[in-house]
Amino acid sequence: MPAQRLHKILAASGVGSLRAMEELIVAGRISVNGKPAHVGQPVSPADIVRVNGQIVKLRWQQRAPRVILYHKPMGEIVSRDDPEGRPTVFAHLPRLGSSRWVAVGRLDFNSEGLLLFTNAGELANRLMHPRYEIEREYAVRVMGELTEEHAAKLKAGVELDDGPARVLSIRDGGGEGANHWYHITLPEGRNREVRRMFEAVGLMVSRLLRTRYGPLTLPPQLKRGQQQELDAAQVKALLTVVGIKGGDAGASAAPGAPATGGDEGSDDSDDSEPNGNVIGYQSSNEHKAESWSRMRGNFDTVVAPPTRRGKYPGAGATRGGPRKPKGR
């Protein structure tokens, strides 16, 4: 079997993201055959790799990854350990034995909605990396009225302390007064990005719910605190959408390894571990959007959301939530 680069086989084995592996190598926390490793070092099945002193079993023949959709309620953190002892989303996930779940994206303590988990580091990286511009859709309740001027500013882009940010689309979700909802789509995820963008135009978000991540939509029947695992056909379709060939996504994250994803410090900061080695789309933004829309349509034929009305803002008219405007 041909040798592979150390950081790539570690990520493919689910140990962590590509960038996280590079950082651990530079920090001297990864060794090969008892000697400090270096970035780009080739390794083979005969080599013994240790992370933080623990031997890691690399997956040279990759198994199909597992993917879980979880409806995160408010009041839970996306972290395994919390000094305050608050509830964690990981408590609801099935055990993986010798591996661990990697959180794809984040939602903060007071945010809710769709949260993805996988045991494949490369798949997590493809879904989170900003260069792939995987769309995220949110239902947002704001204090005050979102005017056409506000919407134009959000679409054109607002300046945040970590750079410009914009929304791809905004549509009225219904409601009145302090209970007015809007549906927005973003091409990336950054630390509290949705809330900060609305603050930049003078509005405050009072509730935030993620309804879609890429081609995966929060199922209307999935209640808060419940999780649903994709079947083999759905996982295969997802791998195709993000451009991963069969078997390249990896699986079985090592139990002692760092996981991508993160804690409750942000509601949309699901790209905190960007990796410059990942090759993204090379086409124009318009072509990216068109290609992604087409791929999403193909994926929806495999993972089609239920047609009945659900109990969350993105699923249709609900009491106290967004209502479909008349005439649409």
Side-chain-side CA neighbours of 305 within 13 Å: the count stands at 20
SS3 12: helix
- Measured CA to CA, the distance from residue 323 to residue 119 in angstroms comes to 37
Size of the chain in residues: 328
Closest CA to 11 of 282, 231, 273: 273
Per-position DSSP letters for 53-117, written without gaps between them: TEE----SSPPPP-EEEEEEPTT-BSSS--TT---BGGGGSPP-TT---EEES---TT-EEEEEE
Q: CB neighbours of 298 closer than 8 A, spacing ≥ 6?
A: 237, 240, 241
Per-position DSSP letters for 234-275, written without gaps between them: HHHHHHHHTT--TT-S-----TTS--SS--TT-SS-TTSS--
* Per annotation, catalytic residue among 108, 263, 267, 271: 108
- Measured CA to CA, the distance from residue 272 to residue 198 in angstroms comes to 21
Examine the residue annotation and report whether 108 is marked as an active-site residue of this protein.
yes
- DSSP classification of residue 47: S
Token pair listed for 279: 């090759």
- Measured CA to CA, the distance from residue 328 to residue 308 in angstroms comes to 18
Please identify every residue annotated as catalytic. Answer: 108
